[in-house]
A and B are shown apart, each in its own frame.
Chain A
């Protein structure tokens, strides 16, 4: 009986804490220092960091392409950062990520209204245009693609990363 009750409590705990199967992973709050955290945690691994926003037309077109790219290239770390500032954003952002197949990626969302400072930490010259993609090599070299990225360009970069590994 005791074992059953305890099992029940653990099951309830699991149900309360685990996101539902269809819910994308939680969005990580992107604040001061998050950019350096991302660089550190992916050091030595080829990583794509994609900045986007729910109100950005070109982003809506590009996001599913990135989702497909992620599925086709499991060796790449895929990071997305929602850089829009609109109310009730997390729900809309999660929904778009899920529809684009990017729910399994490492997904962040700007969580500090002082966006100038967040952007400054990432790139002092960035004025907030989205989409924007950063390709980070194993050696930490960063290539910035302004605007929508061509998937061919990402393929080429990925092949270079593979070649360097050999």
Chain B
């Protein structure tokens, strides 16, 4: 038996004091940890691709795959000459950690022109009220370096959810959601819902942008835009609009030239009346035949879930919405592309543990679609699935927290 020596009164007292302080410090640390804890969509905190929460791809004219991503509070770019098996050393577009817009529908955007010039844009939260600011930059040396970041507009109001697209002549068209008309309307005593769809274009490869102009007021303020070209100089934007009575259904506008928005048409009558941020914007692609393909999410009175419709008259009218995915698997984040060989559509489904990316393809420009097929899966959080084309075939681009980034060719379904 081992005798435990009795401690003196002083020692006991010192022990009590130390124990009390130790407990206090432990409590304080635990409290601090709890209050600094936040959910992370990323696998790690560094700036490399593996730590990205959002990855956006683009193919260059030479078939090189370009990626831009958000990781570690910064935006980076890298390229791959071998279809995504290996990548160049990443180049930081940002010089410091920024409060990047990390909303579910936010991501950096990239275009690569015929000369290899890269235009890039993304949004940050610029203040404690989470007002946004769209920043842009350009690389004229093949992605080796990027120009200093500049705001896409001089307006100090909030801008988010930018979209970039490249016209055939190298013009970069940008559209975004902008709250600049909100305060003036309120000062006039008028109610102003949502934000405005603003746009600008760049004739110098994204080095400078024209004055920003309004295409449409009262858009939903928290959903991504769908952007594509109907032909040279004719950008098309699909967006969630706030219709009469607070109904947040989708609308589309085709420009007659990059500075002239046309008439706004309604894509569907879902009747989703909601004063909320759906955080779930649409997807648009336009085929060589001029067919508009649109996919979207709604939780309206008329229909709920993901839907697809097409327009063969330049966005004036759309086909009856076709439901996408299994209703019991919460289908989400649709993306559609009119590729060189077929149209393809992907979306996510979730069974409570596993997320799958599902695919349908169409050989007749969206008139009929193949049966859905799961083509990828993951068991942790994931970015939206995206589709891109290199002019020969289409690819799925998908960032996942557990399994990293993947790009895989779309195999046409029978």
Contacts and interface: CB of A to CB of B under 8 A. Distances in A.
A83 B25 CA distance: 30
Contacts of A19: 31
Given A13-B24, A86-B125, A148-B275, A117 B38 contact: no
Contacts of A5: 13, 17
A92 B38 contact: no
Interface string A24-66: 0011010000000000000000000000011111110000000
**A contact patch SS:** mixed
Interface stretch (A67-75, A121-129, A158-166): A121-129
A105 interface: no
A24 to B, nearest CB: 10
Contacts of A16: 24-25, 27-28
Interface residues of B, number: 52
Interface in B34-86: 34-42, 73
Interface stretch (B99-107, B137-145, B385-393, B405-413): B99-107
Given A56-B222, A92-B130, A127 B280 contact: yes
Contacts of B42: 113
B274 interface: yes
Q: Which of B102, B130, B222 has the most CB of A within 10 A?
A: B130
A67 to B, nearest CB: 18
Nearest to B402: A114
A77 to B, nearest CB: 21
B252 to A, nearest CB: 22
B276 A146 contact: yes
B277 A92 contact: no
A130 interface: yes
Nearest to B348: A116
B381 A147 contact: no
A53 B350 contact: no
B35 A148 contact: no
B316 to A, nearest CB: 29
Interface string B337-359: 00000000000101011010000
Contacts of B39: 85, 109-113, 115
Contact of B102 (A10, A59, A87): A87
Interface string B255-280: 00000000000000000011111111
Contacts of A142: none
A116 B37 CA distance: 19
Given A55-B103, A56-B222, A109 B38 contact: yes
Interface in B137-166: none
A115 B28 contact: no
B239 to A, nearest CB: 16
Nearest to B18: A9
A56 B276 contact: yes
A139 interface: no
B24 A12 contact: yes
A2 interface: yes
Contacts of B28: 16-17
A29 B330 contact: no
Contacts of A17: 24, 27-28, 31
A158 B185 CA distance: 36
B95 interface: no
Contacts of B104: 85, 128
A56 B128 CA distance: 13
Contacts of B297: 127
B320 interface: no
Contact of A58 (B20, B27, B276, B280): B276
A129 B273 CA distance: 13
Given A2-B13, A13-B24, A116 B103 contact: no
Contacts of A109: 38-39
Q: Which of B276, B297, B332, B348 has the most CB of A within 10 A?
A: B276
B299 interface: yes
Contact of B350 (A88, A90, A116, A146): A116
Given A6-B16, A55-B103, A113 B280 contact: no
Interface in B103-152: 103-104, 125, 128, 130
15 contacts: A6-B20, A16-B25, A17-B24, A27-B34, A29-B34, A53-B277, A87-B99, A90-B35, A90-B37, A116-B350, A124-B328, A125-B304, A127-B332, A132-B276, A147-B276
